[in-house]
């Protein structure tokens, strides 16, 4: 009869560590020689929320979390992608649709998801229609949630430029339980003044008090964009005031030499403004955190 071995023989431990080291080495060699995205396919195998709801049994909320994390990664990855090889954000709506179907009370997935979808391309999917669909789905589950009405109003105002519809949604938001009292005045301002920067600035300032950090960040960016629009108006006036020889390209150097600016002007995100050499029009750089800019009346 042999006795069972006690403890681990040093040679076994060394051999095991060597094999593990070899495996890691091969992994590193493989990752360096073959780019990871060769094998990463942009696939969503199951697109039906109803089917997924069945498959995950009682773990719907956890599955919703997984799809929410996938949606964030998909959005973030595509937003940062500069290769131009992928059609951006194509899975965003299906991922958000599944997340909110598996967990119909997933508040942030509706609200944050609507921002991802409605932001102008390439900063977002440029699909305000889908953003409104997503928020309407949220309203169907929680009809008293004033935030969803407010977000639809804002998309109508900021992205779709439909002030009548925005006013109507602000009015509906104001009628919901616990709605803040500033919504009704905003609805009135929409109807009387339309898409002007003063109204936009007022709404963004209200959103600075939101309880969600991402919403406050979004409001901060919105305010910076409006400040940027005001600065662009001023810069275009300055450019126009500098004598310009026809045929020559417009440039910041020309304006600086004329003594009208001390240096290349920076937008509120600290990125240099761009001047169009042909027309002298000023805009934010596509590298700026504020790009793309909205269009509003002064």
How far, in Å, CA of 9 to CA of 196, rounded?
A: 78
How far, in Å, CA of 296 to CA of 293, rounded?
A: 9
| Smaller CB separation from other proteins, 105 or 121 | 105
Give the nearest distance from C-beta 112 to other proteins in angstroms: 6
| Smaller CB separation from other proteins, 60 or 227 | 60
Give the nearest distance from C-beta 61 to other proteins in angstroms: 4
Q: Which of 47, 58, 132, 118 is nearest to 89 (CA)?
A: 118
Write the DSSP symbol of residue 272.
Answer: B
Q: How far is CA 66 from CA 5, 53, 113, in A?
A: 45, 13, 14
| Smaller CB separation from other proteins, 26 or 108 | 108
| Smaller CB separation from other proteins, 58 or 84 | 58
How far, in Å, CA of 134 to CA of 226, rounded?
A: 27
Give the nearest distance from C-beta 172 to other proteins in angstroms: 23
* Beta-carbon contacts of residue 133 (< 8 Å; ≥ 6 apart): none
Give the nearest distance from C-beta 147 to other proteins in angstroms: 12
Give the nearest distance from C-beta 77 to other proteins in angstroms: 12
| Smaller CB separation from other proteins, 183 or 215 | 215
Do 77 and 88 touch, CB atoms closer than 8 A?
A: no
Q: Which positions lie near other proteins, rule CB under 8 A?
A: 54, 57-62, 64-65, 68-69, 72-73, 103, 105, 107-108, 112, 211-214
């Amino acid at each position: 009869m042999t006795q069972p071995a006690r403890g681990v023989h040093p040679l076994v431990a060394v051999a095991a560590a060597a094999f593990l080291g070899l495996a890691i080495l091969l992994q590193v060699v493989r990752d360096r020689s073959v780019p990871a995205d060769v094998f990463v396919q942009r696939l969503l195998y199951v697109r039906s929320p109803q089917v997924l709801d069945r498959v995950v049994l009682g773990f719907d909320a956890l599955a919703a979390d997984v799809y929410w994390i996938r949606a964030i990664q998909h959005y973030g990855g595509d937003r940062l992608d500069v290769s131009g090889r992928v059609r951006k954000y194509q899975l965003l709506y299906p991922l958000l649709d599944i997340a909110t179907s598996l967990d119909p009370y997933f508040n942030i997935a509706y609200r944050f998801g609507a921002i991802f979808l409605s932001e102008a391309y390439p900063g977002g999917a440029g699909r305000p229609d889908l953003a409104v669909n997503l928020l309407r789905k949220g309203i169907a589950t929680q009809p008293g949630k004033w935030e969803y009405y407010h977000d639809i109003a804002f998309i109508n105002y900021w992205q779709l430029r439909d002030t009548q519809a925005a006013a109507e949604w602000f009015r509906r938001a104001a009628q919901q339980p616990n709605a803040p009292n500033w919504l009704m005045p905003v609805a009135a301002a929409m109807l009387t003044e339309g898409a002007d920067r003063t109204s936009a600035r007022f709404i963004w300032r209200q959103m600075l008090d939101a309880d969600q950090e991402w919403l406050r960040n979004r409001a901060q960016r919105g305010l910076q964009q409006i400040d940027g629009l005001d600065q662009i108006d001023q810069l275009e006036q300055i450019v126009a005031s500098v004598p310009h020889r026809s045929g020559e390209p417009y440039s910041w150097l020309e304006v600086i030499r004329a003594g009208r600016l001390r240096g290349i002007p920076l937008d509120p995100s600290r990125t240099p403004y761009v001047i169009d050499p042909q027309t002298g029009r000023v805009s934010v750089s596509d590298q700026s955190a504020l790009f793309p800019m909205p269009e509003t009346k002064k």
